Chain A
Amino acid sequence: MKHKGQLLWILVPVLMIAAVFLVTLGSLLPQRNQVAVEHTVLYGDPAAAEGLEAVCRTAFQDQLFWDTTIRPGASPDVETSYDFSFKKQVSYYAQDCGFNMSSTCSYDVSYLESVGVPSQPLEDAIADLEAETEIGETKSRRYPLQQFFDNYLIEYYIYFPYTQNRSLLVDIDEAVFSDFFRIPVLPEEQIVITYDKTDYPSEVISKEVEGGFPTRTCSVFTDDAIYFSFDNVTGDGRYVDTSLIPGGYGIYRLPYAKETSSGSSPYYTVQSEELSNCFSLDPTVRVCDLRLDSRQETLFLYTQEGEKNWLTLLRTDTMEILQRLCLSGNEMDASPWYQADDFFVLSDGYELLLFAKKEDGRFEKQLETSLSPSEEPLFHLSYKATMAWDGRQLAITSASPKEENEWVTTAFILAVYDESGLRYIGRYDPILNPTARPEDFNYFCQSPDNALPEIRWEVKP
Chain B
Amino acid sequence: MNKNMSVIILFQKQALKAILPVLAAMPVLEGILFFLLTGSLRANGAFWLEDLVEKSAMWWVFWIAFAATCILLLRAASDGTGRPSYSLQRLAVSPQNLFACHLLALMVSFLLLWAVQILTVFLLLSWVCSNPAYSSFSSQSVFLAFYRNDFLHNLLPMEDWLCWLRNLVLFFGLTTSAAYFALPQDESEKKSNILFLLHIAVLIISFTWSLGSNGMNALAILCSGCCSVTILCKIFRKEAAQ
Closest to B51 in A: A438
Identify the stretch in A44-52, A60-68, A307-315 within 8 Å (CB) of chain B at 4 or more residues.
A60-68
**A13 and B118: CB pair below 8 A?**
no
**A35 and B140: CB pair below 8 A?**
yes
B111 CB-CB contact with A under 8 Å: yes
**B122 and A86: CB pair below 8 A?**
no
Q: Nearest chain A CB to B27's CB is how many angstroms away?
A: 12
**Bound: A456/B45 CA distance, A:** 39
- Residues of chain B within 8 A (CB-CB) of A64 are 147
Q: Mark A432-444, 1 if CB is under 8 A from B, else 0.
A: 1011101010110
Identify the stretch in A25-33, A372-380, A420-428 within 8 Å (CB) of chain B at 4 or more residues.
A25-33
- Residues of chain B within 8 A (CB-CB) of A131 are none
**Bound: A10/B143 CA distance, A:** 31
A34 CB-CB contact with B under 8 Å: yes
B33 CB-CB contact with A under 8 Å: no
**Bound: A61/B214 CA distance, A:** 14
Q: Nearest chain A CB to B230's CB is how many angstroms away?
A: 27
- Contact of A10 (CB < 8 Å), options: B12, B46, B147: B12
Q: Mark B155-198, 1 if CB is under 8 A from A, else 0.
A: 01011111000000000000000000000000000000000000
- Contact of A434 (CB < 8 Å), options: B8, B16, B46, B210: B46
Identify the stretch in A14-22, A134-142, A280-288, A357-365 within 8 Å (CB) of chain B at 4 or more residues.
A14-22
**B48 and A436: CB pair below 8 A?**
yes
**Bound: A62/B211 CA distance, A:** 10
Q: Given A13-B12, A86-B214, A438-B48 in contact, is the A36-B161 Cβ separation under 8 Å?
A: no
B137 CB-CB contact with A under 8 Å: yes
- Residues of chain A within 8 A (CB-CB) of B108 are 10, 13-14, 17
Closest to B156 in A: A24
**Bound: A32/B140 CA distance, A:** 7
Instruction: State the majority secondary structure of interface residues on B.
Output: helix
**B47 and A436: CB pair below 8 A?**
yes
**A61 and B211: CB pair below 8 A?**
yes
**Bound: A432/B111 CA distance, A:** 32
A3 CB-CB contact with B under 8 Å: yes
Q: Nearest chain B CB to A432's CB is how many angstroms away?
A: 7
A6 CB-CB contact with B under 8 Å: yes
**A443 and B50: CB pair below 8 A?**
yes
> What total of chain B residues lie within 8 Å of the partner, measured CB to CB?
46
- Residues of chain B within 8 A (CB-CB) of A60 are 144, 147-148
- Residues of chain B within 8 A (CB-CB) of A34 are 139-140
Closest to A6 in B: B9
B222 CB-CB contact with A under 8 Å: no
A460 CB-CB contact with B under 8 Å: no
**Bound: A13/B113 CA distance, A:** 10
- Residues of chain A within 8 A (CB-CB) of B140 are 31-32, 34-36, 431-432
- Residues of chain A within 8 A (CB-CB) of B138 are 35-36, 431-432, 434
A7 CB-CB contact with B under 8 Å: yes
Q: Given A9-B9, A432-B138 in contact, is the A25-B50 Cβ separation under 8 Å?
A: no
Q: Nearest chain A CB to B97's CB is how many angstroms away?
A: 16
- Residues of chain A within 8 A (CB-CB) of B109 are 13
Q: Mark B3-20, 1 if CB is under 8 A from A, else 0.
A: 000101100110010000
A-B contacts, 16 of them at CB < 8 A, read A13-B108, A17-B111, A27-B122, A28-B143, A29-B143, A29-B159, A32-B143, A61-B211, A62-B212, A84-B158, A434-B48, A435-B46, A436-B46, A438-B50, A442-B210, A443-B50
List B residues at the A interface (Cβ < 8 Å).
1, 6, 8-9, 12-13, 16, 45-48, 50-51, 108-109, 111-112, 114-116, 118-119, 122, 126, 136-144, 146-148, 156, 158-162, 210-212, 214
Known: A16-B112, A28-B146. 16 other contacts (CB 8 A): A9-B9, A9-B16, A13-B12, A13-B16, A20-B119, A24-B119, A24-B122, A28-B122, A32-B143, A36-B139, A84-B159, A86-B159, A432-B138, A434-B46, A434-B136, A434-B137
